Chains A and B, each alone.
Chain A
Amino acid sequence: MKTLVLGLGNPILTDDGVGVRVAEAVRAALPPTAAIEISEASVGGLELMERLLGFERVILIDALHGSRYRQPGAIHRMTLDDLRAISPTQHSASAHDTSLVTALDLARRMDFALPRELIIFAVETENIVDFNEEPTPAVAQAIPKVTEMVLAELDG
């Protein structure tokens, strides 16, 4: 199954880069294979959707900020439906880009080749406003755990 593991986020904005770090750790743990592409990106919405086209399975790792029960370092395994539930996409156009859910709905509407399987690992963050290359301790501790979860997902 043609798979993409994509770490999302900004690597110089403290915890926002958690997805990028997990992608790096996944890359280090796996022998290079043609079937699994491991990459990072600091994009959302349309550009992210375009990046997913042509893959059968996609695993995204991203930062999640400001959830109702804030617990930095907490890990959530989500599907697109979960994202839809927390995303206000259906009700609002964003000021700058559309959300991933809208972008994927758009792609579906246009019959683009979307992945059959989309899994999102979201890590709750503590700080995404300070420029720093190091994540906060709680988020740093989550990195090996999420890495294991992604590897298990790839095995399964």
Chain B
Amino acid sequence: MENRMPNQGAKPVDTKQIKEMLNRRKDKMKRYLSYCAHCSLCAESCFLYMEHHKDPQYMPSYKAINSLGRLYRKRGKVDRKLLTEMKGIVWRNCVLCGRCYCPIGIHIPSMIAFARSILRSQDVYPQLDEVSSESWL
């Protein structure tokens, strides 16, 4: 079987494009991020959190803060290493089932989905069909 190289790393990160994408949804996303009370009450609504022995890394708020939150904090100035780290958070640690519960009403799936779009724009996404080591299941 042909061993194809992953495309992540093929081109430099376009921070300008990331910044433009972040700005386009800033009004909604920054409000969601800034009104999160960091209460962790979303934790148990995530089946991956429960399945992974309540590992905080799987908590919905943790995933949103450490992906999209980080992108906003760094104003899009991120390198490929950081984007690859985020890939694990938004694809491996979250399946976007959309069942996260936030008592304040913050819609966490939309934040994760947006982080995925930004990563995808930089060719950072899982290549389950091409690279066998990408499989985490």
The answer to whether A and B belong to the same complex is no
